[in-house]
Structure 1
């Protein structure tokens, strides 16, 4: 029994390290610390994060699947440039999936589910109230906001829908960060999230779905306006680093 326990603990620690490295690398890319077009290698990141190359390699594989980096044989990885076509496609799909997931969540949410959503809103408010917030603290609010949509998808009870939406959300984070940072849409985003959760808690299926779709449409229009106005994506991210 002790041997099994030790092995399980080792596996848990390995998974924790793997996930930690992945989240750190993803945050560095999304916030522009590693800018679009920037080249990174397993060795450099392993040294920077003080870990072995194995979890870094696994993290880059996941990031490549999410479309955040592009692997180059014997050259490492290149951080993906913004792609307007992928952006439009991702947000078109997200509007459909997010709207439907939110409708189902409004129909299915339990008291515990509603309390969980309220707690996430409260965490966003707590992070927003921090004076002179750092980039890390702003990124934490971004993550909680994105996770709110993941939890809503989970509450929907539709596993396939949840999986598809979570995959799309992974592809949207970098764009959402750009919107929040450059347009300072933090307060509006919190208000819209509150409106969505209010509708879910009230069991208003139609209103919940419409608010979710309007939230995605507004974000898409903001980001599209920014992307079209910026021809130099390297400079575009300088403020985020």
Structure 2
């Protein structure tokens, strides 16, 4: 049977659907750190056979979201704050390099799209936390893409994917949404004016504030989940 046969294509599509559903459940805290399950349980939950479930689970394991044990099945990995801190550090390095390039380039970068999203009156700001999270990712990715360095953008995208599970929590608080709009506007203003040093200071402060906030929110959510008895202890 060729790799492009209808049966193989259907199996791959099912595995992709299960993968995305489970990943969304992890990101949305439907599946919590420490939660355990078997392939059979997940297959019944998703209404598919074990084969696409197994493919999806191993894919999520490779990405660091799940772990598997010989006797106890699968479980959602506990949050590794040390790893997240290292990823945030890498993100800061990449974005500071991008800002420096944009400010030092002979040709001004086209930031009109980002300006159109973030430099808006207060009453026109997006208020849905999930949507703001998506826009925030696009803002930071847009800064890196504006340098024209596609390899840098690829690495940045990989980092973005790995920290999304906690980063998105930053937009569950209205004050953080407002702060994000204000800070993004200021960063864009400084880049446009080629004030690289000031732009770098503001960008680093912006990312560090977000990291501190998601740490605090994540710990609070995990505490509440344990109090409800929803998170495993093993």
Deviation track 1:59-115 (CA, whole Å, cap 9, x = no partner) reads 43443333222233475431121223223222222222222223334546643xx23
Deviation track 1:91-149 (CA, whole Å, cap 9, x = no partner) reads 222222222223334546643xx2332355489x97834xxx5xxxx323312312322
1:71 is aligned, of 56, 68, 71, to 68
1:174 is aligned, of 153, 165, 178, to 165
1:195 is aligned, of 168, 180, 186, to 186
| Post-superposition offset of 1:29 | 0.9
> Conserved in 2, the CA contact under 8 Å of 1:39 and 1:79?
yes
2:25 is aligned, of 15, 24, 28, to 28
Pairing of 1:145-160 with structure 2 (within 5 A): 145-160=136-151
Give the TM-score, by structure 2 length: 0.70
Deviation track 1:35-77 (CA, whole Å, cap 9, x = no partner) reads 1111245555555455666655444344333322223347543
Q: 1:200 to 1:57 in 2, by over 3 A?
A: farther
Distance in 2, matches of 1:234 and 1:195, equals 37
Deviates more, 1:25-34 or 1:50-59: 50-59
Distance in 2, matches of 1:118 and 1:237, equals 43
> Conserved in 2, the CA contact under 8 Å of 1:109 and 1:200?
no
Q: Which residue of 1 aligns with 2:132?
A: 141
| Structure 2 residue 105 is the aligned partner of structure 1 residue 104 | no
Distance in 2, matches of 1:14 and 1:122, equals 45
Q: How many residues align?
A: 222
Structure 1 residue runs of 5 or longer lacking an equivalent are: 1-6
> Conserved in 1, the CA contact under 8 Å of 2:102 and 2:109?
no
Deviation track 1:7-59 (CA, whole Å, cap 9, x = no partner) reads 7xx99999887666544432321221111111245555555455666655444
RMSD over aligned Cα atoms: 4.1
Would you tell me which structure has more helix in proportion to its own residues?
Answer: 1
> Conserved in 1, the CA contact under 8 Å of 2:67 and 2:75?
yes
| Post-superposition offset of 1:211 | 2.3
| Structure 2 residue 85 is the aligned partner of structure 1 residue 94 | no
| Post-superposition offset of 1:216 | 1.1
Find the structure with the greater CA-based Rg.
Answer: 2
Which structure exhibits the higher relative contact order, with contacts defined as CA atoms closer than 8 Å and separated by 6 or more residues? 1
Structure 2 residue runs of 5 or longer lacking an equivalent are: 230-234
Distance in 2, matches of 1:152 and 1:42, equals 41
Q: Which residue of 1 aligns with 2:232?
A: none
